[in-house]
Amino acid sequence: MPEGDTVYRVAHRLDRALRGGTITRFDLRVPELANADLTGSVVHGVVPRGKHILMRIGAHTLRSHLRMDGAWHLYRPGERWRAPAHTARAIVGTADVEAVGFEVSMLALVPTTEEASLVSHLGPDPLSDDWDPAEAARRVGSDPRPIHVALLDQRNVAGFGNEYAAELLFLRGVLPTRPATEVDAAALLDLGARTIRANRDRIDRTFTGVALRGRTTWVYGRGRRPCRRCGTLIRTGELGADPTEERRTFWCPRCQR
């Protein structure tokens, strides 16, 4: 599932392409929204909120989520799509550009005055202008579950995914199974905010400071390979709020205790 920095870049690319344009094509290919039509409305902007993308069009907001396989492409009107047409779930076009959402999910269309109903459950977002580190630390630090699970819960803090959880916990020397109540949540989230902000404008995300392929992470995706710091083999496991939400965890048994 894309991390918050990826969603941030997608939203800002859509904003640059669509802002100020008048809708000439509006097609939502999900049954409950199939009759929606915002043709003639002006695009006021596109903003990210955690892992959600909010398109503000006329008096309405269109929410989408990339999930595992979703993507928004930009095309010139009439240009051939680079993904199968049957996977298109949303088409938002102006005279100059068409934004096509392939395999996007959680599509919802509400009056912008009710936009909060779509994202009010989310915790503080480190990439938003109103980032509240104290509130994020309070939510994470009071969660009795393993810190890896608490960090992924978007109700605690919005935007961090599995890769960030694994890498931040390594950098702080914290086992993913440690209860969040026993972790210095403020220090962890300060590191997380600084890291995700540094990565938001990069094409290639890095946690090591090296942008070369295969050298961008400390532990994530490196199961059974030597730790870059101490040489101990990286271990893997699975953690989740319930069996349907389990995610692969990566940690160094020597550097994280």
Tokens at residue 132, please? 């509240």
How far apart, in whole angstroms, are the C-alpha atoms of residue 168 and residue 194?
Answer: 11
* Pairwise CA distance, residues 247 & 220, whole Å: 12
Q: Find all residues with CB under 8 Å of 144, minimum gap 6, and list them.
A: 179, 180, 181
Helix (H, G, I), strand (E, B) or coil at 30: coil
Enumerate the active-site residues. Answer: 2-3, 51, 247
**Taking a C-beta distance cutoff of 8 angstroms, is the pair 123, 59 a contact?**
no
Q: How far apart are the C-alpha atoms of 57 and 78, rounded to whole Å?
A: 22
Eight-state DSSP code of residue 233 = B
